[in-house]
Structure 1
Amino acid sequence: MSEQFDQSSRWKETPFGVESGESMSIDLEDRDDEFVVTADLPGFDKDDIDVQLTDDTLEIHADHEEEHEEEQEGRYIRQERTRRSMSRSIRLPEAVDKSEVTAEYDNGVLTVTLPKATPSEGGEQVEIE
């Protein structure tokens, strides 16, 4: 039961969305024609990171697993496994052009660039019944 409580207490509501696991520091910057999200993910490899964009939410998940095995003379073997996981959902204040979103990962920093969607010209006439 205490394990369930520990897991549930790892979820935290933030002004940008929901955060779980270890703390993932992010910046959300509005650069007039695009949003730029910068997330600190030290110790993760590029393949450990998953970025998803659904509706008005950017989701970042990072999961890293390591296994160390050390055999010493005699009967003792030391084996350790570590797993780190981070997750963050960021609500975007405006619609973005999903087809133009890019992401880069360099030296533990993930940068996601999300160009804002341009409003369609002319609009669509809606019939009133």
Structure 2
Amino acid sequence: MVDRPNPFDDIERFFDQMNRTFSDNVPTRPHEMAVDVAETDEEIVVSADLPGFERNEVTISLAGRDLTIDADHEEESETSAGDDETRYVRRERTHRSVSRTVRLPDEVDEEAAHASYTNGVLTVTLPRETVEQEDESHTIDIS
């Protein structure tokens, strides 16, 4: 039997090469949130872009050194009460959800952590901790 090359191998190699070529130039995919992590001797500050989300649609949790930010937005699927004649030809803005987990560079004081949300930018401030804490997940309230 004649060995024939698998055409899918060439496709896989092509995609691997494209990923290597563009991975350093594209920081995030369009559906992901952009995140900055800054640190000083006293604290770690994580900033995340969440345009279009309300404060109550964002959840932040911390488990050890892993900070997870979840945002979930759902628009009403029905037309407004006085607008029965509106028919959608195309509707793409019904549900949007993003999540990102960031590994922090150091242990933090989970109880002293706080967050703010202004103009679509979430800022989480995490004071550094030197004593090891239990490996439980904590929720951080947004002010």
Instruction: Return the TM-score normalized by structure 1.
Output: 0.69
In the TM superposition, 1:79-118 aligns within 5 A as: 82-118=94-130
- Where does the alignment leave 5 or more consecutive residues of structure 2 unmatched? 1-22, 133-143
The equivalent residue for 2:13 is none
In the TM superposition, 1:15-94 aligns within 5 A as: 22-67=31-76, 68-69=78-79, 70-72=83-85, 78=87, 82-94=94-106
> How many pairs were matched up?
99
Identity among equivalent positions (%) equals 45
- Where does the alignment leave 5 or more consecutive residues of structure 1 unmatched? 1-13, 121-129
Contact 1:21 1:87 in 2 (8 A): no
Instruction: Return the TM-score normalized by structure 2.
Output: 0.62
SS where residue 78 of structure 1 aligns? coil
Higher helix share goes to which structure?
2
| Structure 1 runs, 4 residues or longer, greater than 2 Å off | 77-81
Higher strand share goes to which structure?
1
CA RMSD of aligned residues (A): 2.3
Q: Which moved more, 1:78-87 or 1:108-117?
A: 78-87
Q: 1:56 to 1:21 in 2, by over 3 A?
A: farther
